[in-house]
Amino acid sequence: MERRKFIRNAALGGMAFTGMTGSVSAAAAESKMSNRARFNLKYAPSLGTFREHAGSDPIDEIRFMHDQGFRAIFDNGLMGKEPALQEKIANELDRLGMDLGPFVLYADFSVTSMVTRDQEKLDMLRDRVRSGLEVHKRTNVKTALVVPGRYDQRLHWDYQTANVIDAMRMLSEEVENSDMVLVMEPLNGLRDHPGLFLTTIPQSYMICKAVDHSHCRIVNDLYHQQITEGNLIPNIDMAWEYIAAFHCGDHPGRREPGTGEINYLNVFKHIYHKGYDGVICTEHGRSIPGKEGEQAFIDAYRKVDSFET
């Protein structure tokens, strides 16, 4: 049992013992139920995951997620939402004590965005980051996802790497006076995204080392990395200082944990015991449609979150 939970539960027990009113005892019981429902890690479903249970209103869905014990959400499309809705979402998350995971700042899979020295593309990226900073100011989202784009078949790989390093350093300097961190996402090129430059955790680690800026980090998508390289836990350990967020999804199928080959119980236990308190975006589909599938999603995370703490 965590020390803070032990102290809290002992205090509640003491209150009941000394003859507090029935309403306080009921509140204590409700608190214990809530604490049992709360996940150990900040698994973050995306908006739209629980439409069958909660409807289409994002605020209602956030409340439903909170009631199920989730401690975070993510929304890849956050940047495209109206500013008023961004603020409404952020206010509700703040009220409930929930976190907001990485939003997609820039991810164009068809363009050689960062691998060349094309000034027009660099200016576009800079403008995109400045727009992302406005989202950060409205929502206090801490992480913004960046994909460096495609590789250039006519340019030596090492030159491309140097150009990505320069581009990420430039963009990191754009956000260095804020609390927002840029997280590069390596994606698999074997199944989902052939032709992209950034594909592995070691490659991402090397770029972060070279950029040498506190606002340049990695989002480790465990689904993509299982396809690209496997070796999930050792790579987590090797790149730990630069990992600022996780995505997850089982493989094959990219659905909830337990539907594929990844031992998520062990992976999540490892992350937890390393002291990770960031967001794990549940960026995957469901193996069963409808309301039953939404419940299966919740049950899957209950199972993989059942490790000893």
The predicted-structure confidence for 100-142, as pLDDT tens digits, reads as follows 999 999 999 999 999 999 999 999 999 999 999 999 999 999 9
Is the per-residue pLDDT at 77 higher than 50?
Answer: yes
Is the per-residue pLDDT at 56 higher than 70?
Answer: yes
Residue from 94, 192, 202, 112 nearest 155 by CA: 112
Which pLDDT band holds residue 11 (cuts at 50, 70, 90)?
A: very low
Q: Whole-model pTM?
A: 0.88
Average pLDDT over residues 290-308: 97
Predicted local confidence at residue 129, as pLDDT? 98
In angstroms and rounded to an integer, the radius of gyration of the C-alpha atoms of the chain is 21
Cα–Cα dist 10/12, whole Å: 5
Cα–Cα dist 122/127, whole Å: 9
Is the per-residue pLDDT at 19 higher than 70?
Answer: no
Average pLDDT over residues 179-198: 98
Encoded amino acid at 277, one letter: D
Encoded amino acid at 102, one letter: P
Cα–Cα dist 302/288, whole Å: 17
Cα–Cα dist 181/193, whole Å: 24
How confident is the prediction for the chain on average, in pLDDT? 91
Contact 11, 3 (CB under 8 A): no
Encoded amino acid at 145, one letter: L
CB count in 10 Å sphere of residue 49: 24
| Cross-strand pairs, 183 | 145, 217
Q: Which CATH architecture has domain 39-304?
A: Alpha-Beta Barrel (3.20)
Is the per-residue pLDDT at 9 higher than 90?
Answer: no
Is the per-residue pLDDT at 207 higher than 50?
Answer: yes
Is the per-residue pLDDT at 289 higher than 80?
Answer: yes
Contact 115, 150 (CB under 8 A): yes
Encoded amino acid at 249, one letter: G
Average pLDDT over residues 178-184: 98
The residue that leads in pLDDT, 189 or 18, is 189
Find tokens 């209602």 and name the residue: 60
Is the per-residue pLDDT at 252 higher than 70?
Answer: yes
CA atoms within 13 Å, Cβ hemisphere of 220: 29
How many distinct helices (H) and strands (E) make up the chain? 12, 9
Predicted local confidence at residue 37, as pLDDT? 86
Predicted local confidence at residue 36, as pLDDT? 55
CA atoms within 13 Å, Cβ hemisphere of 268: 29
Average pLDDT over residues 50-74: 98
DSSP 3-state of 13: helix
Find tokens 């603020």 and name the residue: 87
Cα–Cα dist 172/175, whole Å: 5
| Cross-strand pairs, 103 | 144
Which pLDDT band holds residue 1 (cuts at 50, 70, 90)?
A: very low
Residue from 223, 221, 226 nearest 243 by CA: 221
The residues of the chain that CATH labels 3.20.20.150 are 39-304
